[in-house]
Amino acid sequence: MKKIVFVAHDPGGYDAVYPVYEDMRNQMECQLFCIGPSANLNRKFAVRIDMVLGYLHDALKNDEVAVLITGTSWGNHTELDCLKLCQKYNVPTISILDYWSNYASRFRTDIGEHIYPDYYFVMDDLAKKEAIAAGVDEKILYITGHPGLDKFFNTKKTLQPRTVLKKILFLSQPLSSLYGNSLGYNEKTVIVDVINICRELGLKLNIKFHPKDLQDLKIKYRKFEVTGNLEEVLPSYDVVIGMNTMGLLHAVLMGARVISYQPGLKIEDACITNKLGLTKNILTAPDLRQILENVDINNRKNIDNFVWSDGYSVRRVIDKINTIFNARELYDRGNR
C-alpha cells in the first residue's frame, strides 16, 4: 500500500504538519520524519536528514509514495530536496505554510532556483494575496486555514487578567541568525530592554527560548529560562511579550495580554498579530515601559471572521489531500 510521507524541519513547520499526520494516520498508511529542530519536539519520529532522502529515494523507486507533505523552513533545504525528488517521480507534493511571511523565499535554493510544491496550502486571503505579490503562482495556492491553530480553539482556556502586573513572559526567536541587524533589532537587543524594564518595574521575567535560538544566548540568560509548551506555561503570566513570533498569536487566542515589541524596526512589519489588528507594534523602550507600568494592553478584537478561527483547519487540509490523492488514483488507473 502506498504511504503519505510527511517531512518537517522547522518548529513552525512541525506545528502545521503534525496535526494533519496525527489525524490521517487513522485513515491510511502514513510516515512522519522529524529532522533538525523539529526532531527535538518529537523524538519518536526523529531521524537524520540523510536517512529521509535515502528512504524517500527507495520508496519512490518502488512506487510506495502516494503524496509528499512538507512544512516550510529556513536555513535548510531538505524539504526542497524531497519536493524535487518526488516531482521527478511524478508524485504529488504539498507544502503547508505556518506563518505570514517569506512566501517565495522559503522555496529558494542557494543558487537562486525556486522549488515549489504542486500544492501550496496557506492560511487565509491575506496569506494568498501576499504570496502572489511575492511571486508565487496563484494556481498552486489553496486556502485551508492553519492546522497548528486548531488546538487553541478546541481547548479554550480563559485567562483572568490581573489589574496589577507581576509576571512577564518573553518569547524569544533566532532573528539574529536569520536577519543579522537588518531589522533594526534582534532578540539580543530586545532581551536587554525587556530585562531592564522589568527590573525597573519590579516585575518577574521569564524567557521561553526558541528551539533554534543560539546556545550562547540560552546560556547567558539561563536564569530566566522557562520550559514547556506555551499552552501549559501561559496561565502563570500576566503579559506575553514577543517580537514577531507566531507564539504571540497563540497567546492572543488563549486570551492573554500580548505585546509585540520591535524597537527601531526598519522594514515592513511582519508580525501577524499586528497585521491582523490584534496587537500594536511598540517601537521604543520608553513606550514599552509606559504600557507595562499602566497595564495599557487590550487584545480584544473579535477573531471569529478569520478562516482559521473555526478550529477545523486540519479537516480542510485533509479533505484537500484526499481530493488530490483520489484524483491521482483515477489518473493512474486511466493510464495503466
Residue 332: its pLDDT value, please?
54
Site of grid cell 536517512: 51
**Whether residues 244 and 188 fall in one domain:** yes
The mean pLDDT of 28-49, rounded to a whole number, is 91
Residues 6+ apart with CB under 8 A from 224: 170, 195, 205, 206, 207
Q: What is the rounded CA–CA span in Å between residue 49 and residue 46?
A: 9
Average per-residue pLDDT in the chain?
90
In a domain? residue 336: no
Give the closest residue to 299 by CA, choosing from 269, 274, 262. Answer: 274
Residue at which a domain ends, from 261, 279, 294? 294
Residues 6+ apart with CB under 8 A from 89: 60, 61, 65
pTM for the model stands at 0.82
Confidence of residue 330 (pLDDT cuts 50, 70, 90): very low
Give the closest residue to 131 by CA, choosing from 156, 157, 102. Answer: 102
Q: What is the rounded CA–CA span in Å between residue 166 and residue 159?
A: 15
The domain that holds 83 is classified in CATH as 3.40.50.2000
Q: What is the rounded CA–CA span in Å between residue 44 and residue 80?
A: 23
Residue at which a domain ends, from 86, 113, 143? 143
Q: What percent of the chain has pLDDT over 90?
A: 68
**Whether residues 288 and 242 fall in one domain:** yes
| 8 A C-beta contact, residue 83 and residue 70 | yes
Q: What digits encode the pLDDT tens for the residues 232-265?
A: 888 889 999 999 999 999 888 888 889 999 999 9
Site of grid cell 516531482: 87
Q: What is the rounded CA–CA span in Å between residue 169 and residue 240?
A: 5
**Whether residues 10 and 83 fall in one domain:** yes
Q: What digits encode the pLDDT tens for the residues 173-225?
A: 999 988 888 999 999 999 999 999 999 999 999 999 998 899 999 999 999 99
Helix, strand, coil abundance in the chain, percent, nearest 5: 45, 15, 40
**Whether residues 103 and 82 fall in one domain:** yes
What H or E segment, with its residue span, contains residue 88?
Answer: helix 78-88
Residue 211: its pLDDT value, please?
85
**Whether residues 77 and 189 fall in one domain:** no
Q: What percent of the chain has pLDDT over 70?
A: 91
| 8 A C-beta contact, residue 169 and residue 245 | no
Q: What is the rounded CA–CA span in Å between residue 50 and residue 56?
A: 10
**Whether residues 166 and 257 fall in one domain:** yes
**Whether residues 235 and 125 fall in one domain:** no
Confidence of residue 81 (pLDDT cuts 50, 70, 90): very high
Residue-range definition of the domain harbouring residue 7: 3-143
In a domain? residue 138: yes
**Whether residues 116 and 9 fall in one domain:** yes
**For the chain, how many structural domains are there in total?**
2
